[in-house]
């Protein structure tokens, strides 16, 4: 056999092997993406689920019964981690910039899930809304007890709304988005910053607990986090699903799809141990876009958009 024939056979074998490898890789990507597809949508809550969530957030901010009684370890840790995260990510600066950019300093503004009320002085005409009645002690401005999914405000009540690290804790986040849009006036603006893409392993603290804490299955889960948290793996799970969802959203208003999580209401291992869902920023953007709203900071966002705050201008005349 001539050298040229041998070379040709080698090239053919290489092409076949490459084709087989491509098929295997494509199959793996499809399977991984399918496993991580956001299958869940809003479902009615049982009264027990509502009661559990309300009790949890009430106790997280529970005031000591007496002046001499120290706050619980849980309360102290919860508030400490929240304050540290707000400082690290310069939340007050971000919200202040939002208020300044859209001239909201003396307009009607609402904070959804206002917690300890540390942002209440960012604007004059401020209202805070939270599910926990015990946080009222933190406020010198208007505070309203209520759920993000059923707010006691008339339509078009606010010129601007912001919500920081809240929607991942709301069992029916699409209804919460719908409510935020309802109480915002036409051409009003939203600043939305949930913790996007919450991980299913946060609830049990796999990242911070030692291997000795877990059984065999738990050890496997902990060992897998290095891969599952890596950017290449994230892209493998996100991009194919974003492409599918983007196509669907072009045919009219789409449902908000996300992944339900099992929250840990007994031990706050890490941030978002108590998250009940995992929402992708691209999915949230599609939800508003498909209703005619405008993202003011997306800058031609695509399926490769990073996790970031969404600044949305509501256009009610469209839908």
The token pair at 111 is 């904070």
Q: CB under 8 Å to 181, separation ≥6 — which residues?
A: 190, 288, 291, 293, 314, 316
Rg (CA), the chain: 23
What pLDDT, on the 0 to 100 scale, is given for residue 63?
A: 61
Confidence of residue 54 (pLDDT cuts 50, 70, 90): confident
Summarize the confidence of residues 159-165 as an average pLDDT.
Answer: 98
What's the number of domains the chain is made of? Answer: 1
Q: How far apart are CA 166 and CA 129, in angstroms?
A: 11
Helix runs in the chain, H state only: 3-35, 47-60, 73-88, 91-101, 173-183, 216-228, 231-249, 281-289
Q: What CATH number is associated with residue 47?
A: 3.40.50.150
Lowest mean pLDDT across 194-198, 219-223, 234-238, 300-304: 300-304
What pLDDT, on the 0 to 100 scale, is given for residue 166?
A: 97
The token pair at 274 is 């108590």
In a domain, 29, yes or no: no
What pLDDT, on the 0 to 100 scale, is given for residue 65?
A: 45
In a domain, 3, yes or no: no
Residue 178: closest CA among 205, 148, 208: 148
Tell me the DSSP string of 247-285.
Answer: HHHTTS-----BEE----SS---STTTT--EE--HHHHH
In a domain, 171, yes or no: yes
Confidence of residue 46 (pLDDT cuts 50, 70, 90): confident
Residue 204: closest CA among 268, 144, 286, 300: 268
194, 168 Cβ separation under 8 angstroms: yes
In a domain, 290, yes or no: yes
Summarize the confidence of residues 234-244 as an average pLDDT.
Answer: 91
DSSP SS3 for 138: helix
What pLDDT, on the 0 to 100 scale, is given for residue 50?
A: 73
Q: What's the chain's average pLDDT?
A: 87
The CA-CA-CA angle for residues 56, 57, 60, to 5°, reads 90
Residue 188: closest CA among 78, 102, 71, 68: 102
Highest mean pLDDT among 25-29, 123-127, 150-154: 123-127
- The range of the structural domain enclosing residue 53 comes to 36-313
In a domain, 260, yes or no: yes
In a domain, 176, yes or no: yes
Confidence of residue 4 (pLDDT cuts 50, 70, 90): low
User: How far, in Å, are 170, 171, 175, 214, 216 from residue 42 at the CA level?
Assistant: 10, 8, 7, 32, 34
153, 263 Cβ separation under 8 angstroms: no
DSSP SS3 for 311: strand
The token pair at 80 is 């400490």
In a domain, 86, yes or no: yes
Highest mean pLDDT among 29-43, 59-73, 235-249: 235-249
pTM value is 0.86
Q: How far apart are CA 316 and CA 319, in angstroms?
A: 6
In a domain, 21, yes or no: no
Summarize the confidence of residues 102-120 as an average pLDDT.
Answer: 96
Residue 157: closest CA among 166, 169, 167, 146: 146
Q: How far apart are CA 128 and CA 136, in angstroms?
A: 9
């Amino acid at each position: 056999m001539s050298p040229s024939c041998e070379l040709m056979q080698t090239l053919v074998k290489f092409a076949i092997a490459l084709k087989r490898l491509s098929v295997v890789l494509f199959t793996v990507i499809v399977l991984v993406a399918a496993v991580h597809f956001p299958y869940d949508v809003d479902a009615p809550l049982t009264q027990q689920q509502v009661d559990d969530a309300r009790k949890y957030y009430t106790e997280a901010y529970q005031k000591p019964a007496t002046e001499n009684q120290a706050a619980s370890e849980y309360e102290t840790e919860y508030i400490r981690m929240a304050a540290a995260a707000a400082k690290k990510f310069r939340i007050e600066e971000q919200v202040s910039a939002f208020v300044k950019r859209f001239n909201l300093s003396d307009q009607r503004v609402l904070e959804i899930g206002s917690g300890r009320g540390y942002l209440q002085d960012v604007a004059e005409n401020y209202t805070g809304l939270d599910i926990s009645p015990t946080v009222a002690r933190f406020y010198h401005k208007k505070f309203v007890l209520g759920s993000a999914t059923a707010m006691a405000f008339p339509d078009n009540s606010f010129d601007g709304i912001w919500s920081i690290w809240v929607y991942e804790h709301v069992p029916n986040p699409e209804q919460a988005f719908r409510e935020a849009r309802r109480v915002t006036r036409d051409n009003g603006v939203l600043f939305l910053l949930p913790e996007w893409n919450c991980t299913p392993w946060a609830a049990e603290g796999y990242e911070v607990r030692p291997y000795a804490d877990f059984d065999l299955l738990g050890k496997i889960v902990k060992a897998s986090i290095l891969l599952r948290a890596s950017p290449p793996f994230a892209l493998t799970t996100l991009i194919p699903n974003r492409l599918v969802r983007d196509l669907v959203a072009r045919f009219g208003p789409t449902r908000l799809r996300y992944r339900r999580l099992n929250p840990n209401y007994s031990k706050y291992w890490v941030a978002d141990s108590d998250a009940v869902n995992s929402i992708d920023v691209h999915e949230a953007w599609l939800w508003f876009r498909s209703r005619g709203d405008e993202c003011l900071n997306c800058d031609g966002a695509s399926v490769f958009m990073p996790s970031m705050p969404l600044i949305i201008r509501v256009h009610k005349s469209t839908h």
